[in-house]
Amino acid sequence: MRIAIVNDMSRAVDILKRIILDNSVHKLAWIAKTGSEAVRKCEEDQPDLILMDLFMPDMDGVEATRRIMYATPCPILLVTATMEDHAGKIFEAMGHGALDAINTPMMGSGENALKSRDALLKKISIIEKLSINSKNAPKKEQTKPARAAKVSSLIVMGASTGGPKALADILSRMPVDLRAGILIAQHVDGEFSAGMARWLDEQSPLKIRIAKEGAYPLQGTAFLAGKNDHLVLTSHLNLAYTKEPIATPFRPSVDVLFKSVAAHWPSMGVAVLLTGMGKDGAEGMKMLHRVGWHTIAQDEATSVVYGMPKAARDLVATSEILPVDRIASAILRRL
């Protein structure tokens, strides 16, 4: 991949440049020290991936991400040393189209430095797979148990690129006394899922919590997948995490969650597939649609990346295709 670096800190640039050039698979496209310089350079020479800092003079990473994704969209990975203290900024940038976020790798040759370097290379590898539309895991049909649930109605949502903003829009329109439980799979590193849950909780009258192993869906609560493993609904109708399928580049996978719900939830519900790169969630939505669920895909006009919803549309897996600002009301009508 041809990778660009956007960062005003010379030390961070040196670390990122060394990681890129030491790996024979990747090449350095260009370096920008401000967001405005990055927007200009991206117009002149679009890279395969941008490693974007969050805070810079002139124009920060949030605004630079917004402008790049509007004018010359390409994969953006936020690489910053300020992640824990600025979760809102991170998810704002992800709402504009940044794929993921990671801490700036450490300098040196110690164990922690090597781990941080490997973590960045792993993220880059996953984004490369996403960019070439990796194949989803194969379908596996299962039978449904006729068991009672903690809630009678269930809503499941999946999102990737641009998802935080879309999720915030939908969850903010839900009533505090929502008589349904919500399960969400958003492509985001497990390290930052707690921050995302807190951020979404501030946007919505509902309770937004990280899904815990063994928990049951709860009325008026949205559970967000909180690990790099896949969130699933078990045959006992509680939540669990699984590493399988390991080869799936999307973690947590929307398909894995949707398919587990199709297999085990004893009644109908509403499934929503939002903006995102690739095809994750389309096959799972098809299974839910086939067993009678009402399925909603975000439309092209309001999607940051029209990949996942388009894949569901192409599979004829959707009951409705709607702009993001109409999805909440459509869910409530079905409930």
Q: How far apart are CA 227 and CA 225, in angstroms?
A: 6
Q: Is 135 exposed, middle or buried (0-12, 13-18, 19+ CB in 10 A)?
A: exposed
Same fold, 2-131 and 154-334: yes
What are φ and ψ of residue 7, in 5° steps? -165, 135
Q: Which is the catalytic residue, given 100, 116, 153, 160?
A: 160
* Residues pairing with 183 in the sheet: 156, 223
Q: How far apart are CA 160 and CA 99, in angstroms?
A: 7
Output the pLDDT for position 132: 57
Output the pLDDT for position 152: 79
Q: How far apart are CA 205 and CA 2, in angstroms?
A: 43
Quote the pTM value. Answer: 0.74
The residue with tokens 């969650």 is: 257
Q: How far apart are CA 36 and CA 214, in angstroms?
A: 47
Output the pLDDT for position 149: 40
Instruction: State which residues of the chain have pLDDT below 70.
Output: 82-85, 131-150
Residues 6+ apart with CB under 8 A from 138: none
Active site residue 280: yes
Output the pLDDT for position 230: 95
Closest by Cα among 142, 147, 100 to 120: 100
Report the 3 state secondary structure along the chain: CEEEEECCCHHHHHHHHHHHHHCCCCEEEEEECCHHHHHHHHHHCCCCEEEECCCCCCCCHHHHHHHHHHHCCCCEEEEECCCCCCHHHHHHHHHCCCCEEEECCCCCCCHHHHHHHHHHHHHHHHHHHHHCCCCCCCCCCCCCCCCCCCCCCEEEEEECCCHHHHHHHHHHCCCCCCCCEEEEEECCCHHHHHHHHHHHHHHCCCEEEECCCCCCCCCCEEEECCCCCEEEECCCCCEEEECCCCCCCCCCCHHHHHHHHHHHCCCCCEEEECCECCCCCHHHHHHHHHCCCEEEEECCCCCCCECHHHHHHHCCCCCEEECHHHHHHHHHHHC
Domain chopping of the chain, boundaries: 2-131, 154-334
Q: Looking at domain 2-131, which CATH architecture does it have?
A: 3-Layer(aba) Sandwich (3.40)
Q: How far is CA 91 from CA 8, 56, 142, in A?
A: 21, 17, 36
The pair of structure tokens assigned to 268 is: 């109908």
Q: Which is the catalytic residue, given 60, 189, 280, 299?
A: 280
* Per-residue pLDDT reduced to its tens digit, 162-220: 999 999 999 999 999 999 999 999 998 877 788 889 889 988 999 999 999 999 999 99
Output the pLDDT for position 141: 36
Kindly tell me the sign of the dihedral angle through the C-alpha atoms of 286, 288, 293, 297: negative
Output the pLDDT for position 85: 63
Q: In this structure, how many other beta carbons lie within 10 angstroms of the beta carbon of residue 79?
A: 26
Output the pLDDT for position 135: 34
Q: How far apart are CA 271 and CA 185, in angstroms?
A: 11
The pair of structure tokens assigned to 187 is: 């492509």
Active site residue 187: yes
Domain 154-334 belongs to what topology? Rossmann fold (3.40.50)
**Do the Cβ atoms of 269 and 153 come closer than 8 Å?**
yes
Q: Which is the catalytic residue, given 187, 230, 264, 294?
A: 187
Kindly tell me the sign of the dihedral angle through the C-alpha atoms of 117, 123, 129, 132: negative
